[in-house]
Amino acid sequence: MLLVVVLVHCRGALSRQQHDAWLRLQSRARTARDGAEIPAKWSSEAREAFASEGFVVREGVVSEARCEALRESLEALFAGEFDTGIFPDEWHWRAGLSKEHCVREMVNAWKSSDYVARIALDPEIAKLACDLMGWGGVRLAQDDVVWKPSGAGGVGFHRDSTYVSDNFEPRDHNSVTVWIALEPADAENGGVEYAVGSHKWPRDDDDFAAAGGAKTFFFGSEESRRRGACRPVGTGGAIFHHQDILHGSGPNTSTRPRRALVLHYIRDDLRLRAKADYIYGRYVLGDRAVHDAFFPLVYSRDPTAPTPTATRRLCSTCRPLKFQIS
Ligand SMILES: O=C(O)CCC(=O)C(=O)O
C-alpha cells in the first residue's frame, strides 16, 4: 500500500507525452472489445429491473478474450506473481498452504495484475455504471477476484453497503457492484443469488436481524426460490446490483470452476467517514478525502477531469503494461 502512495506522489505533473500516450490507450481500449461494443444507454426495462428487483444482467460487457486472459493469469496471480511487484490489499488462499477446494479471493488486485487492471480500470464499464446510477463520475472502491473451484462452498448472504457504502458520506445511493463472469456462471457452479427486491427491506442494525429472518422466509417458499434463484451469466456478462441488495452464492457442485471479477464502484463526490471500518480505515488519511491512490477515478463526465488511474499505470516509475491492447 505504501509503495502505491509513493509511486503516485513521485509521478508529479503529467507530461504532454504521457497525456498523449493515455489518449492513445483510451482510443485503442475502445476498439479492443472483439466486437462487444457497449451501448452507452440503458433501456427503460433495464433501469426498471434495477430499481424494482435490485439488479440487472447485461451480457457482453467484457470481451471473451479479456476474460480468457484474466482466467489464464489467475494461477500465477494466486502464486504471488504480481505484474507490478505490488501486493494486493487482501489475498485469501495460498498455493501449497490452503485447501484446494476453498474459495480463493483477492481484493484490489488492480494494483498487482495488469489483467485485472485492464478490466477494473476500464472507463467503458465504469461509464455503464455511471449511466445506470446517474452520477457525474465513478471511482473504483475495490475489486474482488472470486475463484470458486469445483467442490468449493458458497458465499454467505450479505449487503455490499455494509462493506463499501457505510464507509462513505453521503451513505445512500453511493455505490454499485458490477459482478463479471469470467466463465459461464449458473446455479450448478455457484453463480450469484439474489433476494429479489431486498434492497428495499429495512436495513438499520436492529432491523437487520429481521431482514435476515425475512430472507429465510423469502427463500422458504417455492415462489420466492424461483424468483430469487441464481441468474445464469455468460462469459463476459455482468450483473449490476444495488448496494443494499442481499446476495450470496451457493456451493460449486459442478466439475467446472466459477471465476468472477467483482467491481465495487463509488460515485466520485464522496467523503470517507471519520470512523471507517477496519479495512477502509487504512485509506483515511486525516482529511477524509477519497484519494486517487486508493480509489482511482475510472470515469468522469467532466472532460477536464484528470485520469489518475491511467497516469499511474503509465507513469515513468511504473513498469510498462505487460499486455498488448490491439
Ligand atoms: O462471487 C460470489 O460468489 C459472491 C461475490 C459477492 O457477493 C461480492 O463480491 O459482493
* Domain CATH number, residue 89: 2.60.120.620
pLDDT of residue 137: 95
Alpha carbon 277 to chain centroid distance? 19
DSSP state letter for 316? T
Return the axis-axis angle of helices 16-30 and 123-133, rounded to nearest 10°. 70
pLDDT of residue 246: 85
pLDDT of residue 250: 87
Contact of 179 with 258, CB cutoff 8 Å:
no
- The answer to the question of residue 225 being in a domain is yes
- The answer to the question of residue 90 being in a domain is yes
How far apart are alpha carbons 257 and 305 in whole angstroms?
40
Between the CA of 157 and the centroid of ligand 1 the distance, in Å, is: 9
pLDDT tens, N- to C-terminus, the chain (326 residues)? 322 322 223 223 334 344 344 333 343 333 333 444 444 589 999 999 999 999 999 999 999 999 999 999 999 999 999 988 899 999 999 988 999 999 999 999 999 998 999 899 999 999 999 999 999 999 999 999 999 999 999 888 889 999 999 999 999 999 999 999 999 999 999 999 888 888 988 766 545 555 555 555 455 555 445 556 688 999 999 999 999 998 888 899 999 999 999 999 999 999 999 889 989 998 998 889 999 889 999 999 998 887 655 545 544 344 445 544 43
State which H helix or E strand residue 238 sits in: strand 238-242
Pocket test for ligand 1, best of 142, 155, 180, 183 (most atoms within 8 A of CB): 155
**Sign of the dihedral through C-alpha 294, 249, 82, 25:** negative
Pocket test for ligand 1, best of 165, 244, 247, 263 (most atoms within 8 A of CB): 247
Q: Phi, psi at residue 148, to the nearest 5°?
A: -110, 100
pLDDT of residue 325: 41
pLDDT of residue 215: 52
Q: Phi, psi at residue 213, to the nearest 5°?
A: -60, -45
- The answer to the question of residue 319 being in a domain is no
**Ligand 1 nearest atom to the CA of residue 163, by list position:** 10
Between the CA of 22 and the centroid of ligand 1 the distance, in Å, is: 32
Between the CA of 33 and the centroid of ligand 1 the distance, in Å, is: 25
* Rg (alpha carbons) of the chain, rounded to whole number: 19
- The answer to the question of residue 325 being in a domain is no
Lining residues, ligand 1, CB within 6 Å: 144, 146, 155, 160, 177, 192, 247, 249, 260, 262
pLDDT of residue 303: 84
Between the CA of 172 and the centroid of ligand 1 the distance, in Å, is: 20
Between the CA of 233 and the centroid of ligand 1 the distance, in Å, is: 14
pLDDT of residue 46: 97
Determine the straight-line distance between the first and last CA of the chain, rounded to whole angstroms: 31
Between the CA of 195 and the centroid of ligand 1 the distance, in Å, is: 14
Q: Helix or strand or coil: residue 323? A: coil
User: What residue's CA is closest to ligand 1, atom 8?
Assistant: 262
Q: Helix or strand or coil: residue 106? A: strand
State which H helix or E strand residue 194 sits in: strand 192-194
List C-alpha distances in Å: 269 to 85, 164, 262: 30, 15, 22
Domain with 68, as residue range(s), is 2-314
How far apart are alpha carbons 133 and 156 in whole angstroms?
26
- The answer to the question of residue 320 being in a domain is no
- Count how many domains the chain has: 1
**Ligand 1 nearest atom to the CA of residue 103, by list position:** 3
User: What residue's CA is closest to ligand 1, atom 1?
Assistant: 146
Between the CA of 286 and the centroid of ligand 1 the distance, in Å, is: 30
Q: Helix or strand or coil: residue 259? A: strand
Beta strand pairing call for 175-181 and 238-242: antiparallel
- The answer to the question of residue 324 being in a domain is no
How far apart are alpha carbons 142 and 177 in whole angstroms?
10
Pocket test for ligand 1, best of 148, 179, 242 (most atoms within 8 A of CB): 179
User: What residue's CA is closest to ligand 1, atom 6?
Assistant: 248
User: What residue's CA is closest to ligand 1, atom 10?
Assistant: 160
pLDDT of residue 54: 94
pLDDT of residue 94: 92
**Ligand 1 nearest atom to the CA of residue 191, by list position:** 3
How far apart are alpha carbons 230 and 160 in whole angstroms?
17
CA 299-86-96 angle, to 5 degrees, is: 120
How far apart are alpha carbons 129 and 136 in whole angstroms?
11
DSSP structure string for 110-170: GGT-HHHHHHHT-HHHHHHHHHHHT-SEEEEEEEEEEEE-TT---EEEE-HHHHTGGGEES
How far apart are alpha carbons 277 and 161 in whole angstroms?
12
Beta strand pairing call for 90-92 and 104-107: antiparallel
